[in-house]
Copies of this chain bind each other. A is one copy, B any other.
Amino acid sequence: MSLRTLLLTAAAGLALATQALAFEPLTIIDQGSFSAGGTVTTQPGTFDNRSPMDIAGQTFHGDHAYASYQVPEAPRSLPLLLWHGAFQSGKSWETTADGREGFQTLMLRHHFPVYIIDQPRRGRAGNSAVAAEVSPMAFDQLYFDLFRIGQWPAYFDGVQFDASEETLDEFMRSVTPNTGAFDPEVVSDGVSALVDRIGPSILITHSQAGGPGWLTAIKNPGVRAVISYEPGSGFVFPESDLPDPMSGAAGTLEPVAISDADFDKLTQIPILVYYGDNIPEEPTNLFGLDNWRTRLAMARLWVDAINARGGDATLVHLPEVGVTGNTHFIFSDLNNGQIAEMAATWIEEKGLGDPAQ
């Protein structure tokens, strides 16, 4: 271990210790977890208590969503549902990789009830109704690039991500695989069932959950607003007015056609989309960066399409409002206190931040 690494590690340890000391007590008036949605399938035949390793006549519960929740004292009326991205679980929203308070706890301090989702076929909701081969995928450097921490092995100057080895190790251990094929319909059905159970809610999506988040809002009028951090795919457009696909070094990003009637449902709720820093405006052959050039461009078209039909969508490209250095994990970056504050303020501005009666 180099002296620099040793010092950085010691500093990170000190930061962790300080953080632990600094935790301001939280009063929780309810907490727990539950599943929602999913399917039940039954095998043909007759179950025999003497041979229960034989599946004959047995059932299987799968494809449900899981949520754990906490309600703080003096809660607001609309809870937040935090929905992770690809290769992630609810852990995304908990303690940050460098040991600070995660978005979960920050938003509890803003008096929101907070629900953390593991989507169907991921994490604690791993009982998939379809089989999958799970293989270790050596993609840490892909993630480093794609999540715009830097361009491996270099961190971006001014990036909002602690550059210690300990932090990167913890960050990489938030990765967890699909236990069944990712299916936007299955995961949005699961989260819609959560909304049925929880009641009117504000959906907060990250990355891969962006597209299924729009589908959930279309399926369920209980979704009263959506904040999406760097939606990465599943940009839904009215079939009558599809934009062209966008190509680049990371492949081709296709718009997803839905009915005009479904699209119009997205014009009925306020929507806020955030993108972070270090996204090029011009094409580059660096996969991890060019990937976001096309996505940011598509998101701009998407927001314009919502607003052209009378909706209320806003895209905030953070560097354009003076907030710099954010990675793809905006909500857990070093400035996540400011990011949480921005989200809470927007919710209040939209008239959705009232205290519970």
Tell me if A64 counts as interface (CB < 8 A to partner B).
yes
Tell me if A261 counts as interface (CB < 8 A to partner B).
no
* Residues in B whose Cβ lies below 8 Å from that of A277: none
Segment from A30-38, A223-231, A303-311, A321-329 that makes contact with B: A30-38
Smallest CB separation, A45 vs chain B (Å): 10
Q: Mark A117-141, 1 if CB is under 8 A from B, else 0.
A: 0100011111111111111111111
List the number of copies, as a whole number.
Answer: 2
Tell me if A341 counts as interface (CB < 8 A to partner B).
no
Closest to A40 in B: B169
Contact (Cβ within 8 A) B59 A141: yes
* Residues in B whose Cβ lies below 8 Å from that of A155: none
A50 in complex: contacting residue of B41, B52, B59, B286, CB < 8 Å: B286
**Whole-angstrom CA separation of A135 from B68 in the bound complex:** 25
Tell me if A158 counts as interface (CB < 8 A to partner B).
no
Smallest CB separation, A205 vs chain B (Å): 18
Per the 8 Å Cβ criterion, residues 17-75 of A in contact with B are 20, 23, 25-35, 38, 40-43, 47, 49-53, 55, 57-62, 64, 66, 68, 73
* Residues in B whose Cβ lies below 8 Å from that of A58: 138-142
Contact (Cβ within 8 A) A95 B134: no
| 14 A-B interface contacts by CB (under 8 A) | A27-B28, A35-B170, A35-B174, A52-B139, A52-B287, A53-B287, A58-B138, A58-B140, A58-B141, A125-B173, A127-B136, A131-B135, A133-B133, A133-B134
Given contacts A25-B29, A49-B151, A133-B133, 9 further A-B contacts (CB under 8 A): A26-B28, A33-B95, A47-B152, A49-B286, A52-B146, A61-B172, A89-B124, A123-B126, A131-B135
